[in-house]
Structure 1
Amino acid sequence: MEGLIFLAVIVILIASVVVSSVKLIPQAEAAVIERLGRYQRTASGQLTLIIPFIDRVRAKVDLRERVVTFPPQSMITEDNLTLSIDTVVYFQVTDPKSAVYEINNYIIAVEQLATTTLRNVVGGLTLEQTLTSRDMINKQLRGVLDSETGRWGLRVARVELRSIDPPPSIQDSMEKQMRADREKRATILTAEGQREAAITTAQGAKQAAILDAEGNKQAAILSAEADRQSRMLRAQGERAARYLVAEGQAAAIARVNAAVKASKPTPEMLAYQYVQNLPEMAKGDAATMWMIPSQFGDSLENFAKAVAKKDDDGVFRYEPADVDTDADLPSAPDEWFDTSTDPEIARSVAAAEAAAKGTTSVMDEEPRKAKPKPGVFDMVPESEGGAAPDDTPALSGPQGAQPGQPTGIDPAAGLDTDLHQGGYPIDETGRDRP
């Protein structure tokens, strides 16, 4: 019975030794194995057999990248201000043997090294530089830590400054400064906005004034052009009217002269007409007294000698010349009596109408046909030899008036064919018709 118990104990001891000699090292971990107190090998991610009572696992090291947060540290800047800086270090064990045998506690070593390095870096910077140069501080810390921890089998991946806390008084001053800066920027932006608004308003007023001036200029030009054209047309009409009146007067004088020549007046008849017209001459407002010369007969005799010849019976008689031709009167230019609309005037009127309607390109359009203006004959008063009213038919063909010829005179017959055209009709005897 005792033999069985001893055998069972031996089996249990052997089983425990075998189990203790088999080590399972998971992935991302490394086991430093020693034999008789000296480094033997490093096992990672595998099933490892060790010799009982001879080999042992000195330490297991995590090979993953680790994040270590250190408590805030007080540091003094170059301008003697105290800051509280909290750092975060990202590192990874690359050599488990060095991490176990080269340093006692690599986490504490990294913390202390990061603190001392950060103090050196921050001590050479002012508060403003420290707050605005985080990237530069991170790079310097990473460079120093990576070079110093390499012999410990560590690789520093990144160093971050999680927080930088100045003293409360400094924070209050910084807040006031930031508030002042923001108010300054707000004031500047407000002033810039007002300036831009004023400039825009001024530019708009300038453009409006320019457009208004351009409009007034165009209106003044059109008004002046219209006044000039109207004055020219009115002057042309008055010129044609005066010419026609002069034509009528010349024709009337010529007919009176022809009638006088045809009647062959004697000195007795002239004397009788002279005496008969004396009362008419005395009707003038300025005439208060008329004196008849005492030698009235001698005056008549001298007048008869000047205009007539004395016959055998002693009577003076007027004998007209054998050849008596009418004087050639200068004729008026045909354009004086042109009633068609000037194309330039038509274009100006069309442009003004289109400008009033807002049309942009009106000068390229063909001018509209203007209504024919009344002829120059219609503008002459009827009493001065002008045309008859609208119900009087106009002359055409050979009866029409020629340039230089007054209306109502038949050039072939030499007689007035219309009593309303300003002529002076006479009969075949040379006397005025009633």
Structure 2
Amino acid sequence: MPSFFIILLVLGLFLFLSSFFTVKQQTAAIIERFGKYASTRTSGLQLKIPVVDRIAGKVNLRIQQLDVIIETKTKDNVFVKLKVSVQFKVLQEKVYEAFYKLEYPHDQITSYVFDVVRAEVPKLKLDDVFERKDDIAVAVKRELNEAMSTYGYDIINTLITDIDPDIQVKNAMNRINAADREKTAAEYEAEAGRIRIVAKAKAEAESKRLQGQGIADQRREIARGLVESVDVLNRVGINSQEASALIVVTQHYDTLQAIGADTNSNLILLPNSPQAGSEMLNNMVASFTASNQVGEAMKKANSNKRKGTGKKDIFGGTEENESEE
């Protein structure tokens, strides 16, 4: 008899302890009674009828993520792999639908993702797939929400996290990108070269202008100096022709002196004797005198023409004015 009471006590203690169970945070427990749905229990300490009730399963209420890799073809016949990350969770008020209506929810979500992506990507070219990946993600989310809300699932977000074209296509794209960058670099280099050439040309033009201005100023000062020298010589009784010849001879000897001061000069001026200076002076004076005489004669001839000492006849001859009858 004592052993029977011990067995009953142990059995009663087991039934009592089996009546209690705990549910973790963000988890829902499904209770069945004789194989039929009885209730849904949330987090905390819960009570059930031993032997009659049982825990059929637990549903995770936290946000979950499913990564789906899809290979499809674009409009320009390029095969590309897309990685779609789907973030979803079970609605707490629809735990029954999520537990009983879908046996493999991940497979169901994957099928819908495949269907939407393979319907959207073939409409786009490869470049457009990169540019409009957000539109593809929105289309996936919209389709999944319509399909999975019936089963108690809420699609939080869908992300296109990777777009991986075929390796040969990627290499071609890299070559195109490199060529485009080289073209841009060449254009910038050409523009820089043009700017340097224009700047150099402007600098040379400015240099030539300043050089010409300097030469003009130099010659102007030389002419002013010559005028002053002639005035000084005229004041001591030397006429203009002799003064000009003397200045030229003086410049001649200054030039010889400057050439002689240069030790590396190989220039030889002939004739270069002392008599050559006097002969040069005499020749210049004679030349200036002859030039003045020719100028005076030309002035007199021009004056006679202006006075009209004769007139042409109709045959091109000249008629003398009749002074006597």
TM-score range, shorter chain: 0.5 to 0.7
Q: 1:74 to 1:236 in 2, by over 3 A?
A: closer
Q: 1:106 to 1:163 in 2, by over 3 A?
A: same
**CA–CA separation in structure 1 for the residues paired with 2:139 and 2:188:** 42
1:89 corresponds in structure 2 to 86
2:211 corresponds in structure 1 to 216
**Structure with greater strand percent:** 2
The one of 174, 177, 185 aligned to 1:178:
174
1:62 corresponds in structure 2 to 60
After superposition, give the CA deviation of every residue in 1:328-373 in whole Å (9 maximum; x if it has no partner): xxxxxxxxxxxxxxxxxxxxxxxxxxxxxxxxxxxxxxxxxxxxxx
Q: 1:30 to 1:161 in 2, by over 3 A?
A: same
Identity of aligned residues (%): 20
CA contact (8 A) 1:69 1:88 kept: yes
Say whether residues 1:148 and 2:147 are aligned partners.
yes
Report the alpha carbon displacement of residue 24 of structure 1 after superposing the two structures with TM: 0.8
**CA–CA separation in structure 1 for the residues paired with 2:152 and 2:63:** 13
Say whether residues 1:233 and 2:228 are aligned partners.
yes
1:10 corresponds in structure 2 to 8
Say whether residues 1:136 and 2:135 are aligned partners.
yes
CA contact (8 A) 2:20 2:45 kept: yes
Instruction: Return the letter of the residue paired with 1:185.
Output: R
Aligned residues: 236
1:75 corresponds in structure 2 to 72
SS in 2 for 1:7: helix
The one of 17, 22, 27 aligned to 2:20:
22
Instruction: Return the letter of the residue paired with 2:18.
Output: S
2:195 corresponds in structure 1 to 200
**CA–CA separation in structure 1 for the residues paired with 2:212 and 2:40:** 102
SS in 2 for 1:178: helix
**CA–CA separation in structure 1 for the residues paired with 2:201 and 2:165:** 55
Gaps of 5+ in 2: 239-325
CA contact (8 A) 1:102 1:151 kept: no
**CA–CA separation in structure 2 for the residues paired with 1:127 and 1:22:** 59
TM-score (norm 2): 0.63
**CA–CA separation in structure 2 for the residues paired with 1:144 and 1:121:** 12
After superposition, give the CA deviation of every residue in 1:88-107 in whole Å (9 maximum; x if it has no partner): 32212223233113323322
After superposition, residues 405-416 of structure 1 pair within 5 angstroms as: none
CA contact (8 A) 2:134 2:160 kept: no
Question: Larger radius of gyration, structure 1 or 2?
Answer: 1
2:289 corresponds in structure 1 to none
Q: 1:203 to 1:120 in 2, by over 3 A?
A: same
Q: 1:75 to 1:183 in 2, by over 3 A?
A: closer
**CA–CA separation in structure 1 for the residues paired with 2:223 and 2:87:** 96
Instruction: Return the letter of the residue paired with 1:222.
Output: D
SS in 1 for 2:42: strand
CA contact (8 A) 2:73 2:121 kept: yes
2:105 corresponds in structure 1 to 106
Moved over 6 A (4+): none
Gaps of 5+ in 1: 244-434
**CA–CA separation in structure 2 for the residues paired with 1:105 and 1:220:** 99
Q: 1:213 to 1:164 in 2, by over 3 A?
A: closer
**CA–CA separation in structure 1 for the residues paired with 2:200 and 2:7:** 113
Q: 1:12 to 1:133 in 2, by over 3 A?
A: same
1:253 corresponds in structure 2 to none
Q: 1:189 to 1:160 in 2, by over 3 A?
A: same
TM-score (norm 1): 0.48
After superposition, residues 334-373 of structure 1 pair within 5 angstroms as: none
**CA–CA separation in structure 1 for the residues paired with 2:193 and 2:200:** 10
Report the alpha carbon displacement of residue 186 of structure 1 after superposing the two structures with TM: 1.2
CA contact (8 A) 1:33 1:57 kept: yes
After superposition, give the CA deviation of every residue in 1:377-401 in whole Å (9 maximum; x if it has no partner): xxxxxxxxxxxxxxxxxxxxxxxxx
